[in-house]
Amino acid sequence: MISLLKPRNIRQMGHRGWAAVFFGESAVELTTSRSTAGNDVGVQNQASAPLGVVEGSMDAKSRWQAAVQGLRGRIHPNEHRIVTAIGCEDVLCQTLLLPTTQSSELQQMLELQIDNLTPLPLEEAVYSFEPLGKTENETRVLVAIARKAAVNERVAVLEEAGLPPEVVGIDALAVFHSFVRGNLVPLDGKLNALVQVSTAAVHVVVHSQGLPVTIRSLVLGESLMGSDVSRAALREELQRTLVAAEAEQPGRVIGKMTIATWSDKLRAEVEELGKAWTGEVQCYTNGSTPTPAVSLCTETAAAEGARMNLLPDEWRVRRRTAQLRLRLIRGGIALAVAYVLVLSAFLVFLGVHEARLSQVKTEIKNRQKPYDDARQLHSLLVTMQKQLDMKYSTLEVMREVCQLMPETVKLNGFSFKKDDAVTLKAQAQSATVATEFISKLEQSALFSKISPGNMRTDPSAGGLTKFDVVCTLKSAATVPATGRAPWH
């Protein structure tokens, strides 16, 4: 599927420096940079590894892998974020005018139009966009659509080397931004052109007021050197590109052309191209301009707004999955360590507790016999006290019962059990009288509980009410339990 990558403020992505890995025509170049005081970007190191022939293989990927491995020791992902670039010849760039709205809605508009912008199948393409400027009603955006396979070739090589890129830019666009920041191209309102010449392609960026208007790549079928036909064809294509840009931007005239090359072999050819151009021209062939690798690095590190990023989403998903797996593994290890520590602490605590428990059991065992002897002595003293206490004697109980018993109640039976209860059998002239008597017994200070028994009216006895009542002595409730203490 096609991938839409939201532009981001790259400055906010962290405090590490940036390292650009640029896949050139004859070498892989490495440039590292870091922000200095005042948020300026300073280049730290530059290195390159030639694309030699790998034994047993002649394909470009193998040569790239060997060159990247040669540069691997000069950079560490923990100190630098990685940025790389795809060649402009593998990218289709277009400028669009969209209604001025929020960034998220711009993405939705592009998603609806992307089918009409690229000849590639959606699953074979990746794209991003960069806002160029906006008015009250319109926003001009630069849309870049690349072959996903061309991007994945470079990303895969860096991933295998342990240098996962976070940004995939466009080489010609990065160089253009460097030229603008360095005031190496005109910044007026004319249609100026920056022409970047290499042995394989020519990248043309038509710009006005420091913003790209048209970006085009001309892939060369043969080298420029020594070929008047190729130089003439190139001048025609450049003229055609400027005329087309002039038609799209009515009211603007063609301005200055800037030609740059970083190849010593093409220096003479670029000078010849500049001499043959009829308009105003400036040539850079003496190495005074930033190389694509330096431009890519400083452009990413110094980006204050949204910039192109053609990194396919599947690489991000793969990294998030790997990071999640790593976090889970680390979490599992941390959990296991914590479990071992907790288990060790628990076992130590259990050992201390068992030692204390054993000590307490030994103390209990040593004090059990004195305790049993004290319990027996206490029981004997309580029994002796009860024998001496006449409050709950038979005579005292009978006296209390007789004082509480009405004249209309007759006592038929009396059963006394010391320190336990008194059972009374009596008769009354009516049930009401019997109930009043029982109520008086409940209020007596000698009894803790009154339990009425059977109450019945006997017709053969002249309608008398016969009843039973059990009176529990309070002394029974205060008798302490005897026996062994409930210790173990």
pLDDT at 8: 40
In which band, very low, low, confident or very high, does the pLDDT at 355 lie, cut at 50, 70 and 90? very high
Mean pLDDT, to the nearest integer, of 114-128?
Answer: 82
Mean pLDDT, to the nearest integer, of 414-439?
Answer: 88
Q: What is the DSSP string of 1-59?
A: ---B----BGGGG-SSEEEEEEE-SSEEEEEEEEE-GGG-EEEEEEEEEE--PBTTB-S
Return the top range by mean pLDDT from 44-53, 285-294, 353-362, 453-462. 353-362
pLDDT at 57: 53
**Model pTM score:** 0.64
Q: Please check the confidence at residue 12 and state whether its pLDDT lies above 50.
A: no
In which band, very low, low, confident or very high, does the pLDDT at 15 lie, cut at 50, 70 and 90? low
Map out the domains of the chain as residue ranges. Answer: 1-115+146-173+289-311, 185-287, 394-477
Question: How far apart, in whole angstroms, are the C-alpha atoms of residue 417 and residue 404?
Answer: 20
112 vs 326, higher pLDDT:
326
Q: Please check the confidence at residue 224 and state whether its pLDDT lies above 60.
A: no
In which band, very low, low, confident or very high, does the pLDDT at 44 lie, cut at 50, 70 and 90? confident
Report domain 394-477's class: alpha beta
Q: Which CATH architecture has domain 185-287?
A: 2-Layer Sandwich (3.30)
The CA–CA distances, whole Å, from 315 to 68, 124, 287, 320, 322 equal: 19, 15, 35, 9, 10
In which band, very low, low, confident or very high, does the pLDDT at 350 lie, cut at 50, 70 and 90? very high
Question: 129-133, 227-231, 460-464 — which is least confidently predicted?
Answer: 227-231
In which band, very low, low, confident or very high, does the pLDDT at 10 lie, cut at 50, 70 and 90? very low
pLDDT at 336: 93
pLDDT at 479: 46
414 vs 76, higher pLDDT:
414
- Which of 330, 226, 216 lies closest to 269 in space, CA to CA? 226
pLDDT digit string, tens, across residues 233-242:
888 888 888 8
According to DSSP, residue 459 is labeled G
Return the structure tokens found at 102: 């929020």
Strands 211-219 and 165-170: unpaired
Q: Please check the confidence at residue 153 and state whether its pLDDT lies above 60.
A: yes
Mean pLDDT, to the nearest integer, of 210-239?
Answer: 76
φ, ψ (nearest 5 deg) of residue 445: -75, -10
Using DSSP's 3-state secondary structure scheme, residue 133 falls into strand
pLDDT at 175: 92
pLDDT at 179: 92
Q: Decide whether 185-287 matches 394-477 in CATH topology.
A: no
Question: How far apart, in whole angstroms, are the C-alpha atoms of residue 225 and residue 455?
Answer: 138
- CATH 2.40.160, applies to 1-115+146-173+289-311: no
pLDDT at 388: 64
Q: Please check the confidence at residue 40 and state whether its pLDDT lies above 50.
A: yes
Question: 210-224, 402-416, 438-452 — which is least confidently predicted?
Answer: 210-224
In which band, very low, low, confident or very high, does the pLDDT at 303 lie, cut at 50, 70 and 90? low
Q: Which stretches does DSSP call E strand in 148-231?
A: 165-170, 191-197, 201-208, 211-219
The helix, strand and coil proportions of the chain, stated in percent and rounded to the nearest 5, come to: 45, 30, 25
pLDDT at 469: 92
